[in-house]
Amino acid sequence: MLSFTEENYLKAIYHLSKEGSEPVLTNDLAKSVRTKAASATDMVKKLAAKKLISYRKYYGANLTTKGKTEALMVIRKHRLWETFLVQALGFMWDEVHEVAEQLEHIHSKRLIEKLDEFLNYPKTDPHGDPIPDRNGKIQQTAAISCDQLEKGKSAIITAVKDSSGSLLKLLDKIGAHPGKKIKIIACEPYDKSVEALLDGQRVFISHEVSKNILVKE
């Protein structure tokens, strides 16, 4: 059985290696799990010994099939719990991340299956991110980020990249939730900020923010 910490490292490696094959660098990994590079080196050695990642010194780490499955199970739990917190307990979507970080490490197959059933097998979490199924299958959303939309184009918001409370609060204020339609009405080349239409409301979005909004044309 994996420890709390091992699960966190695997999850971080999964998220950092995005489309799978690029190696994850020790420094990036350390930053992601909020430790020092030396600690990350120790852990990747341990994970490699357990065949959860492949690791080459000074080069980086990649998840093995086994490691990827474990990572996806942690992500499945995280996203199901987030969904539960919002849908059943009435949390705001910017309040759930921290608690889900704890709940994702509860070890009980039965619990997560029952929770999935209770929530009626949701496909995405409150931030629009896809929830892996019990076999670790996850539907990859080939979404582009909002800052790549041209003037005049419309799109549907599918997800949010960053789950920090401050960003989510801001998105909440302007009404930028997954499922909503967004139309770009002006682009400012200087700072790449945009003006958009959301629910008939004219909103101003900085580049920092639009980068983190994923959309589907």
Q: Where do contacts with DNA occur on this chain (CB under 7 A)? A: 3-6, 25-28, 33-46, 55, 57-60
Contacts of 64 (CB under 8 A, 6+ apart): 51, 52, 53, 54
41 binds, among a copy of itself, DNA, none (CB under 5 to 8 A by kind): DNA
Least distance in angstroms from the C-beta of 24 to DNA: 8
Least distance in angstroms from the C-beta of 118 to a copy of itself: 6
Least distance in angstroms from the C-beta of 134 to a copy of itself: 16
User: Smaller CB distance to a copy of itself: residue 113 or 188?
Assistant: 113
85 alpha carbon, distance to own chain's centre: 16
How far is it, in rounded angstroms, from Cα 44 to Cα 159? 30
User: Smaller CB distance to a copy of itself: residue 33 or 103?
Assistant: 103
Burial (0-12, 13-18, 19+ Cβ within 10 Å), 150: exposed
User: Smaller CB distance to DNA: residue 60 or 178?
Assistant: 60
Instruction: Enumerate binding residues for a copy of itself (CB under 8 A).
Output: 85, 88-91, 95, 98-99, 102-103, 106-108, 110-111, 114-115, 117-118
| HSE of 124, CA atoms in CB hemisphere, 13 A | 15
First to last CA, the chain: 42
User: Smaller CB distance to DNA: residue 33 or 170?
Assistant: 33
Cα three-residue angle 174-128-145, rounded to 5 degrees: 70
212 binds, among DNA, a copy of itself, none (CB under 5 to 8 A by kind): none
User: Smaller CB distance to a copy of itself: residue 87 or 124?
Assistant: 87
197 binds, among DNA, a copy of itself, none (CB under 5 to 8 A by kind): none
Least distance in angstroms from the C-beta of 2 to a copy of itself: 14
b or e along 156-166 (b: 16 or more beta carbons within 10 Å of the residue's beta carbon)?
A: ebbbbeebeee
Least distance in angstroms from the C-beta of 18 to a copy of itself: 30
Cα three-residue angle 7-78-168, rounded to 5 degrees: 120
- Do 157 and 176 contact (CB within 8 A), yes or no? yes
Least distance in angstroms from the C-beta of 161 to a copy of itself: 24
67 binds, among DNA, a copy of itself, none (CB under 5 to 8 A by kind): none
